[in-house]
Amino acid sequence: MRAAGGPFKISLFADLHFGENAWTDWGPLQDFNSVKVMSTVLDHETPDFVIYLGDVITANNMAVANASLYWDQAISPTRVRGIPWASIFGNHDDAPFEWPLDWFSDSGIPQLFCPAVNSSYSDSPKRVKISMPGEEECDFRGTHRTELMKKEIDYNVLSHSKNGPKDLWPSISNYVLQVSSSHDRQMAVAYMYFLDSGGGSYPEVISSAQAEWFRHKAEEINPDSRVPEIVFWHIPSKAYKKVAPRFGVHKPCVGSINKESVAAQEAEMGIMKILVKRTSVKAVFVGHNHGLDWCCPYQNLWLCFARHTGYGGYGNWPRGARILEIMEQPFSLKSWIRMEDGSVHSEVILSS
Amino acid sequence: MRAAGGPFKISLFADLHFGENAWTDWGPLQDFNSVKVMSTVLDHETPDFVIYLGDVITANNMAVANASLYWDQAISPTRVRGIPWASIFGNHDDAPFEWPLDWFSDSGIPQLFCPAVNSSYSDSPKRVKISMPGEEECDFRGTHRTELMKKEIDYNVLSHSKNGPKDLWPSISNYVLQVSSSHDRQMAVAYMYFLDSGGGSYPEVISSAQAEWFRHKAEEINPDSRVPEIVFWHIPSKAYKKVAPRFGVHKPCVGSINKESVAAQEAEMGIMKILVKRTSVKAVFVGHNHGLDWCCPYQNLWLCFARHTGYGGYGNWPRGARILEIMEQPFSLKSWIRMEDGSVHSEVILSS
């Protein structure tokens, strides 16, 4: 994709956590509020592109057979504005339902409405079917990553998401997109790499095979490291722990909240070693930690958190979205955070 | 069911854990060894009935779409001898596959063979299909309790298992069987209650609704508590913690190993209160803890562990099976443990 002349602007929507507690009032209300956050950010920034940075939905809180319904709700504010997007998976997107212990006490199981499989996309009119417990419609085992992605791609011409190479399974959202010059659409201004950092149905990790796929792909399409590369995944790697500031955010880090420990991937299988060897890699962006929004330098690149965008998920820190701005000539990568109330903070240059 | 004249003898097969690590040699070897244990016990004791006390399979270790294949292997030693049986669920029977972290390192994912859905029961010849990763056959999300039970019941005339009342969902194996007099098949000698203590796809608990179901059913079919009642489930209730002996097994408890802490259910939702109020309830039998095989008195009844029967699952304590013997006139309930090497120990009278 390419910008219409000026800089190329991207909005990162992280940890939306749609679909929580559909059997109560507060769950659907959270989603309504998350739509408002996204709408505010999109209307203030009018970005050229949106990246859904994982935990789009909270599948482990969904008593449904197919979670694509909620995934679709989460991408709708971007779609209705005609903005193209790409998405990657977080650890909550394909997790199986976790039954609340309280449902086994005297209070019992609330009346559950299980949307019919594929109902949000079927050609027949939308319907909500009341399923008897135990019937197939209520299987609650999470929706496969492949299924979630297939639905997004098949039904949305604006989606740039990809299922990724089959041999990287069970990780799915592994792909690269080119940001092209506004003068010459063949000329790459930047490559955006998307990686699936796991979790949910399998361990929270970027595999050795994914790292090798990145290395091979980057050497193939950008052999002389001339074009800057930016990387997106959901769960911070262990390197984030090394650079995390203590007690507030201070130089050289830039950000506004530092309220948690970094919840890193389970293991490091090689991706960081490969990234730091490439001078063209400028920054990595992750979500996952709702109480962190900093960027810190790490060797030749920056490690950044996005900003918790959704009202779903833990934490009540004010919601917002990290914005990236790519300038072509000369290349620069700038970032800031746009808040739900319209304010802006934490501007940082990531290309120097 | 009823005995052919003499006492009614039951063998408890606990924690068989079939289907582990099918991609290595040791997994299938464990199952082979478990079949040997069951065969030895059945040939020594020639019981009238067998109870599969949960954790029949280790679904979280199975890279298959339908685990009924392994469930079927586990019941085969009983079936081939023409002995009727009943089964209940443990916490491992419907759990989703847990991916080994090591598969994401350089070693990679081993070649997986995903048995085609329903292949062990289909009318067409048995076949093993090699599935490409990501295809539907390899969905790895665990097999529903309803599906496992349906397969067992539909294809086995000797199975006395039941799916249980629908309103107790997601717990499934809740039912009662009558042991009848050898003289009069209408006359009950004992009632055997089976309860699903959860785990796997939902919390480890006997719900308030299950407790109420038991109470109602027992009052309905045995209003004057004339007929003795025996209860079977998989995960020990919290009451087991109260009576657990410390350092070895000593009176009034009877048993041979006491090598672990009781791994109890997550919560107590009322079943124990109801059981101790009924003078007809003689004993509860559970599995789950492979390193415990004791029986201890608790108020008016006995709380017993079975004996780890399978080579699957944790622990290397010698394998065996708890045997129950019900005498009709006068009623008595005796139990002992039959080991794989043919020896017998820990005899105890549970009806006094």
pLDDT tens-digit readout, B308-337: 999 999 999 999 999 999 999 899 999 999
B108: region left, alpha or beta (phi > 0 left; psi from -120 to 50 alpha): left
Which range is least confidently modeled, B114-118, B271-275, B322-326? B114-118
Alpha helices, H only, chain B: 26-45, 68-80, 145-154, 208-221, 239-243, 271-277
Out of B133, B201, B205, name the one closest to residue A101 (CB): B205
3-state secondary structure of A68: helix
| Buried/exposed code over B210-236 (b: 16+ C-beta within 10 A; e: otherwise) | bbbbbbebbeeebeeeebbbbbbbbbb
DSSP bridge pairs for A323 = A11, A336
HSE of A243, CA atoms in CB hemisphere, 13 A: 23
Out of A104, A134, A209, name the one closest to residue B208 (CB): A104
Characterize the bridge pairing of strands A188-194 and A281-286.
unpaired
- Return the pLDDT at A2: 64
- pLDDT single digits (tens) A114-147: 554 433 333 333 333 334 444 444 678 899 999 9
Out of A141, A166, A169, name the one closest to residue B96 (CB): A141
B121 has pLDDT over 80: no
Closest approach of B105 to chain A, Cα-based (Å): 5
Alpha helices, H only, B46-110: 68-80
Closest approach of B290 to chain A, Cα-based (Å): 25
Closest approach of B76 to chain A, Cα-based (Å): 27
With an 8 Å Cβ cutoff, are B99 and A203 in contact?
Answer: yes
Q: CB distance from B170 to chain A under 8 Å?
A: yes
Closest approach of A96 to chain B, Cα-based (Å): 8
CB pairs under 8 A between A and B: 84
Rounded CA separation B350/B352 (Å): 6
B244 has pLDDT over 90: yes
- Return the pLDDT at A116: 47
Q: CB distance from A108 to chain B under 8 Å?
A: yes
Which residues from chain A sit within 8 angstroms of residue B202, using beta carbons? 99
Contact B63, B112 (CB under 8 A): yes
Average pLDDT over all residues of chain A: 92
- Return the pLDDT at B4: 58
Nearest to B89 by CA among B160, B18, B195, B10: B195
Which range is least confidently modeled, A128-137, A250-259, B93-102, B261-270? A128-137
Nearest to B229 by CA among B185, B183, B298, B176: B176
C-alpha distance from residue B251 to each of A129, B247, B256, B262, B343 (Å)? 57, 12, 12, 18, 22
Q: What CATH superfamily classification does A8-97+141-349 receive? A: Metallo-dependent phosphatases (3.60.21.10)
B64 has pLDDT over 90: no
Confidence label for B131 from pLDDT (cuts 50, 70 and 90): very low
Q: What is the pTM of this model?
A: 0.92
Closest residue in B to A268 (Cα) is B105
DSSP B328: T
Contact B351, B33 (CB under 8 A): no
Position of tokens 């080579």?
Answer: B311
Residue A30 CA from chain centroid, whole number: 18
**Structural domain boundaries in chain A:** 8-97+141-349
Average pLDDT over all residues of chain B: 92
Which residues from chain A sit within 8 angstroms of residue B235, using beta carbons? none
CATH class of the domain at B8-349: alpha beta
- Return the pLDDT at B97: 94
DSSP bridge pairs for B348 = B335
Rounded CA separation B159/A111 (Å): 33
Rounded CA separation A195/A231 (Å): 8
Nearest to A190 by CA among A338, A57, A351, A27: A351
* pLDDT by position in tens, chain A (length 352): 665 567 999 999 999 999 999 988 899 999 999 999 999 999 999 999 999 999 999 999 998 888 999 999 999 999 999 999 999 999 999 999 999 999 999 999 988 765 544 333 333 333 333 344 444 446 788 999 999 999 999 999 999 999 999 999 999 999 999 999 988 889 999 999 999 999 999 999 999 999 999 999 999 999 999 999 999 999 999 999 999 999 899 999 999 999 999 999 999 999 999 999 999 999 999 999 999 999 999 999 999 999 999 999 999 999 999 999 999 989 999 999 999 999 999 999 999 7
Contact A13, A51 (CB under 8 A): yes
Characterize the bridge pairing of strands A301-305 and A175-180.
unpaired
Nearest to A301 by CA among A281, A287, A286: A281
Which residues from chain B sit within 8 angstroms of residue A208, using beta carbons? 104-106, 108
